[in-house]
Amino acid sequence: MMLRIQAHLRYGGDFELKVDHEWPLEGVTGLFGRSGCGKTTLLRLIAGLERIRGAAVSFGDQQWQQGRQFVPLHRRRIGLVFQEHSLLPHLSVQDNLLYGYKRTPAPLRRLHLPEVSAMLGIEDLLGRRIDQLSGGQRQRVSLGRALLISPQLLLLDEPMAALDTQTRREIMPFLGRMAAESAVPIIMVSHSPDEIERLADRIVFLQDGLIQRIETLHESLARPDSPLFDDAGAVSVLEGALGEAGEDGVRPFGPPEARLWIPRTGQASGSLPTRILIRARDVSLSLVDPHHISIQNHLPVTIERIDPPADSRCVVACRTADGQLVLAEVTSRAVSQLGLETGKSLYMLIKSVALLG
């Protein structure tokens, strides 16, 4: 399924949105960029909330806008979730969830209350009033209500921007699970690299009203100049199966040849891939597998490239035994002393507490 957009829009002489692109809608597409770059305007154009003269928008073989033809939002079968929830306070959680479901023709209903409630962990909330919910619970209910219209596309406009850091961390696994299990393509607006790294499969990078690049998450993380690294530095995203916690509370992640051990997290075990984030600055390198050390994760890797130094520090990109890319940030002095070079095998040392599930 491809999304195709052509549009040229000026706002007040200061802002210009100019788009002529298409990309496949599989999994989660992140619209990423600084505030004011045009992310929300582009999302509103896709939704049919912004009618721009001369624009063209197509979803697969459906022409949503072309010349005088314009398909309104309710006929595009799009689910929308914004920063602030728009739940109906006089209805219970269950009645809010079923509000759009009951208005969706039965032949179009692909998602149903039991599965969506389980997906978002809100089974125990169905009888509550909206004012009895926390901010994170309300946003999960908003996601559930959008899913229960069985949309062919789900649009999220910074759905976690109004939540505090702890609540965002709690809701992230539910968003990831929803993206993996619902089979509904998602477009998510965000200016947070962390949200993009945890959830997106493909990224549309916007700057000053222009799409600079469209690429997969792994393509973006593999290039040294990725905009995702601008604020917090280089990061790696590993995908793998997450096992059950042992008596010590530590859980195995990934295959035996690239096994990591991480602290107990809120994410459920299972066959669906789990993402683990590793900041490059939290990784050390060793030419030997060290013993008698408190760091539990000793990951055998092979150096793929060494980026030019910046402020006397280098990013060393390595491949794990299962083919995933992991980045380490070390000093130029360490590169020289250890004789690091492309093709060299060594060990990455990663503290368990530095792994972000």
Give me the pLDDT at residue 189, please: 96
User: Across all residues in the chain, what is the average pLDDT?
Assistant: 92
Contacts of 356 (CB under 8 A, 6+ apart): 276, 277, 278, 279
Q: Are residues 240 and 209 in the same domain?
A: no
Domain count, the chain: 2
276 and 149 share one domain = no
Quick check: 141 pLDDT over 90?
yes
**146 and 190 in one domain?**
yes
**Domain closes at, from 181, 211, 232:** 232
In a domain, 288, yes or no: yes
Distances (CA, A) of 336 to 278, 287, 290, 312: 24, 13, 20, 12
Residue 356 inside a domain? The answer is no
Judgement on whether residues 145 and 9 belong to the same structural domain of the protein: yes
Whether 225 and 249 map to the same domain: the answer is: no
CB count within 10 Å of CB 344 equals 16
Are residues 168 and 257 located together in one domain of the fold? no
Statement to judge: residues 329 and 259 lie in one domain: yes
In terms of Cα–Cα distance, which of 205, 201, 195, 229 is closest to 317?
Answer: 229
Do the Cβ atoms of 16 and 39 come closer than 8 Å?
no
Position 266 scores a pLDDT of: 56
Identify the bridge partners of residue 96 per DSSP, sorted by sequence position: none
In this structure, is residue 57 part of a structural domain? yes
Looking at residues 268-289, what average pLDDT do you find? 84
| Mean pLDDT within 156-185 | 87
pLDDT tens, position by position, 212-226: 999 999 999 999 999
In a domain, 205, yes or no: yes
pLDDT band, very low/low/confident/very high, at 267 (cuts 50, 70, 90) = low
Tokens of 62: 């459906």
CATH number at residue 54: 3.40.50.300
Quote the pLDDT of residue 173. 84
Residue pLDDT, tens place only, 190-201 = 999 999 999 999
Which one of 232, 256, 280 terminates a domain?
232
The answer to the question of residue 264 being in a domain is: yes
Between the two ends of the chain, the Cα-to-Cα distance in Å is: 30
> Which is higher by pLDDT, 303 or 270?
303
For the chain, how are helix, strand and coil distributed in percent, rounded to 5? 30, 35, 35
Residue 192: domain span: 2-232
Q: What is the rounded distance in angstroms from the CA atom of residue 268 to the CA atom of residue 4?
A: 36
Would residue 357 count as lying in a domain?
no
Residue 111, token pair as written in the block: 């998602």
- pLDDT tens across 120-136, in order? 999 999 999 999 999 99
pLDDT digits (tens, 9 = 90+) for 162-172: 888 888 888 88
**Within a domain: residue 265?**
yes
Q: What is the dihedral of CA 126, 128, 134, 138, to 10 degrees?
A: 50
Say whether both 202 and 292 belong to one domain: no
CATH value at residue 263: 2.40.50.100
Instruction: Verify that 253 and 318 share a domain, yes or no.
Output: yes
Q: 263 and 197, same structural domain? A: no
Tens of pLDDT, residues 93-108: 999 999 999 999 999 9
What does the radius of gyration of the chain's CA atoms come to, in whole angstroms? 22
Task: Report the alpha-carbon distance of residue 25 to residue 5 in Å, rounded.
Answer: 13
In a domain, 190, yes or no: yes
| Residues 110, 26 share a domain | yes
Q: What is the pLDDT of residues 300-338, one digit of tens each?
A: 999 999 999 988 999 999 999 999 999 999 999 999 999
What is the value of pTM for the model shown? 0.91
Q: What mean pLDDT comes out for the span 25-54?
A: 93
3-state secondary structure of 98: helix
Query: 264 falls in which pLDDT band (50, 70, 90)?
Result: low
For residues 195 and 70, membership in a common domain is answered with yes
> Residue 231 has what pLDDT?
87
Where is mean pLDDT largest: 34-43, 256-265, 290-299, 329-338? 329-338
- Residue 184's nearest CA partner among 192, 175, 193 is 175
Looking at 232, 265, 298, the residue that finishes a domain is 232
Q: Which of 10-24, 53-67, 116-130 shows the lowest per-residue confidence on average (mean pLDDT)?
A: 10-24
